[in-house]
């Protein structure tokens, strides 16, 4: 069964245009209700959101759909995606829903669904929900309609959950930390966690207005955070994305640290304390070869998956791994989390800084990356990857890189772009290969556009 509505991270699109309309949200809720009801108990759904203006449209539409199917709804307001996963399990809910388009601009929005176990729904379940979209059966009689209520202490519950992951023998006293919340879902909880653990906090991106989420802030625009680290003499800078399920870090000099280095840091830290599972670390095809070589040198296996934190989590569960992530900053701490949690991952970095007494520049840089280049090529429509010329350029690139490099060319599951990534020992060759494939993709798109006229 195929999926058309769901991408690699739920449903996503421009707000108030298909598929991100109130009508489709209503249908999705009703279809999910039909597919996921289990037993004769009173069913419960947890719904959270980020700070986008369109959340006010999507939230009530989803609520109405679930209530029509006889399911009660708990509304928690703006909270990080990992908080919704946690609350779904904590409240023994049947389903969790996060309304967010993650790092995308405010014009977009999305719907992410979590099962009762706190994990994102599988491709198969999402396909089943899609198949149910246009059915209207299953509505309950008036006396069985669900009810909606707000959970006022949801933020406090999540704050305590995150703090519990920080070693109890440690404090952040004496550390100055810049935290950029991207005017998103973590704008209240993230600074609070750091402050309560003892840090001096310099907050950025904590004034959401419904339109400014991810604008010149967060993981997609880290310059302001990097400058603030230097200006305030901070020990560490942290940038979260709009729904706070991923992070990037800047050391005390303002130098950016990506998810690969953070994975290496946590893996080595956990290995030294016996916490790292024997199955090794899970990452995607985008992770740098330098990470793979560094882990291998210390006897730690690296398993690769398709791009998307959901696929990382699936592999972790299958292999029995308790650590995985993406270069983009999704870090999954499997002992406590069912999805990426930027704030909890940041606490692992801060714990290493406190324990070693070393600066972030030393703690967070464990290996030298292999030259790597990523380029996103936007296309208007069609299927440029089906072009013979594009396939030829990709094949030529793979042959030139050989076994000493990696090449990945894929269509994004969240926006209309082709993502081209190459890495290898020869930086000039890597750039040339990316340029040639990008040119082929652009030419294929232009050709399709002329053919459609």
Q: Which CATH class is domain 158-256?
A: alpha beta
Q: What is the DSSP string of 135-190?
A: --TTPPPGGG---EEE-TTHHHHHHHHHHTTS-TT---TT-EEEEE-TTSTTTTHH
Let me know if the fold of 158-256 is the same as that of 372-452: no
Q: What does the pLDDT read at residue 260?
A: 97
Q: What does the pLDDT read at residue 185?
A: 98
Residue 240: its H or E element: strand 236-240
Domain boundaries, the chain: 11-152, 158-256, 257-363, 372-452
CATH of range 11-152; options 3.40.120.10, 3.40.50.2300, 3.40.50.720, 3.90.1150.10: 3.40.120.10
Q: What does the pLDDT read at residue 412?
A: 82
102 flagged as catalytic: yes
pTM of the entire structure?
0.91
Name the fold adopted by 257-363.
Alpha-D-Glucose-1,6-Bisphosphate; Chain A, domain 3 (3.40.120)
Burial class (CB in 10 A: 0-12, 13-18, 19+), 141: exposed
CB distance 291 to 302 below 8 Å: yes
Selected catalytic residue, list 54, 100, 102, 287: 102
* pLDDT tens readout for residues 98-141: 999 999 999 999 999 999 999 999 989 999 999 999 888 889 99
* pLDDT tens readout for residues 247-304: 999 999 999 999 999 999 999 999 999 999 999 999 999 999 999 999 999 999 999 9
CATH of range 372-452; options 3.40.50.2300, 3.40.640.10, 3.40.50.300, 3.30.310.50: 3.30.310.50
Segments of the chain scoring below 70 in pLDDT: 1-2, 447-453
Cα–Cα distance measured from residue 174 to residue 353, given in angstroms and rounded to the nearest whole number: 12
Q: What does the pLDDT read at residue 379?
A: 84
Query: Strand, helix or coil at 236?
Result: strand
Q: What is the DSSP string of 95-144?
A: EEEEE--TTS-TTEEEEEEEETTSSBPPHHHHHHHHHTTT--TTPPPGGG
Cα–Cα distance measured from residue 148 to residue 4, given in angstroms and rounded to the nearest whole number: 30
């Amino acid at each position: 069964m195929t999926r058309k509505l769901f991408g690699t991270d739920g449903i996503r699109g421009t707000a108030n245009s298909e598929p991100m309309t109130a009508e489709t949200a209503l249908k999705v809720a009703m279809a999910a209700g039909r597919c996921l009801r289990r037993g004769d108990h009173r069913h419960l759904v947890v719904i959270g959101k980020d700070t986008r203006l369109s959340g006010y449209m999507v939230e009530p539409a989803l609520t109405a759909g679930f209530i029509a199917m006889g399911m009660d709804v708990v509304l928690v307001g703006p909270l990080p995606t990992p908080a919704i996963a946690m609350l779904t399990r904590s409240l023994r809910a049947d389903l969790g829903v996060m309304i967010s388009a993650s790092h995308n601009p405010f014009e977009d929005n999305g719907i992410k669904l979590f099962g009762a176990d706190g994990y994102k729904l599988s491709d198969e379940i999402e396909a089943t929900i899609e198949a149910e979209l246009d059915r209207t059966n299953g509505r309950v009689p008036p006396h069985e309609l669900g009810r909606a209520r707000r959970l006022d202490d949801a933020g406090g519950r999540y704050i305590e959950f995150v703090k519990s992951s920080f070693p109890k023998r440690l404090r952040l006293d004496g550390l100055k930390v810049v935290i950029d919340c991207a005017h998103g879902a973590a704008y209240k909880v993230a600074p609070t966690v750091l402050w309560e653990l003892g840090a001096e906090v310099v907050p950025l991106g904590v004034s959401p207005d419904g339109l400014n989420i991810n604008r010149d802030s967060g993981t997609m625009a880290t310059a302001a955070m990097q400058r603030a680290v230097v200006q305030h003499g901070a020990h560490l800078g942290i940038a979260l994305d709009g729904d706070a399920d991923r992070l990037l870090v800047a050391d005390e000099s303002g130098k950016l640290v990506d998810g690969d280095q953070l994975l290496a840091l946590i893996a080595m830290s956990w290995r030294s304390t016996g916490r790292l599972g024997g199955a090794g670390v899970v990452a995607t095809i985008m992770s740098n070869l330098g990470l793979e070589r560094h882990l291998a040198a210390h006897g730690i296996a690296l398993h690769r998956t398709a791009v998307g934190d959901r696929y990382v989590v699936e592999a972790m569960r299958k292999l029995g791994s308790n650590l995985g992530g993406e270069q983009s900053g999704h870090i999954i701490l499997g002992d406590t989390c069912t999805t990426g949690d930027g704030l909890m991952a940041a606490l692992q970095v801060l714990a290493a800084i406190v324990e070693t007494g070393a600066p972030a520049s030393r703690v967070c840089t464990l290996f030298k990356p292999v030259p790597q280049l990523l380029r996103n090529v936007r296309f208007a429509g069609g299927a440029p990857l089906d072009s013979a010329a594009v396939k030829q350029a990709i094949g030529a690139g793979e042959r030139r890189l050989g076994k000493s490099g990696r090449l990945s060319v894929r269509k994004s599951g969240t926006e209309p772009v082709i993502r081209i990534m190459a890495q290898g020992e020869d930086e000039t060759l890597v750039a040339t290969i990316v340029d040639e494939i990008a040119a082929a993709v652009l030419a294929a798109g232009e050709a399709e556009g002329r053919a459609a006229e």
